């Protein structure tokens, strides 16, 4: 297993990544923008034998991080691979002295909610109609300490 920075050459494989029913509808333009236009984006892929099996995208803006997406191929879930990506993000956020990480998660995605709670994220509020289909999202946060440690 290897975690490395995502490149433009990885976009097709990331788009093909089937990672469950709650996956946001990422498209080529969005991923390209993350790589080329977003100075805050941190995009990584998890590979096994040169095949992309996971994807992580988060933003660091000043002392705050925002998890945009974390996904593992469906047939490889519940094998600790999501933890590899989460730990990578936490390590980077620690080095960057982030004070908090936030994320939005579909209110019906109990698997993801449990995963985030395992890492110390707490439900902070509800974002009504957050998704394109009108479904709600939980805003979850994880205090880190950052510059206050």
Q: Identify whether the C-beta of residue 40 lies closer than 8 Å to the C-beta of residue 59.
A: yes
Residue 116 falls in the annotated catalytic set: yes
Who contacts 129 (Cβ-Cβ below 8 Å, separation ≥6)?
A: 135, 136
Q: Identify whether the C-beta of residue 120 lies closer than 8 Å to the C-beta of residue 145.
A: no
Tokens, residue 118: 């395992």
Cα separation, 25 vs 147, in Å, equals 35
Q: Identify whether the C-beta of residue 22 lies closer than 8 Å to the C-beta of residue 130.
A: no
Cα separation, 88 vs 93, in Å, equals 9
| Catalytic residue selected from 63, 88, 104, 131 | 104
- Active site residue ranges: 104, 116
């Amino acid at each position: 297993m290897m975690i490395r920075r995502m490149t433009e050459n990885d976009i097709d494989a990331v788009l093909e990544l089937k990672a469950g029913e709650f996956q946001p509808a990422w498209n080529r333009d969005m991923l390209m923008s993350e790589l080329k236009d977003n100075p805050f984006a941190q995009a990584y892929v998890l590979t096994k034998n040169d095949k992309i099996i996971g994807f992580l995208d988060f933003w660091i803006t000043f002392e705050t991080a925002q998890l945009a997406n974390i996904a593992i191929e469906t047939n490889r879930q519940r094998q600790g691979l999501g933890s590899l990506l989460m730990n990578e993000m936490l390590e980077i956020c620690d080095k960057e002295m982030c004070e908090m990480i936030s994320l939005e998660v579909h209110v019906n995605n109990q698997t993801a909610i449990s995963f985030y709670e395992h890492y110390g994220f707490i439900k902070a509020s509800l974002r009504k109609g957050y998704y394109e289909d009108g479904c709600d999202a939980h805003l979850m946060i994880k205090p880190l300490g950052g510059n206050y440690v």
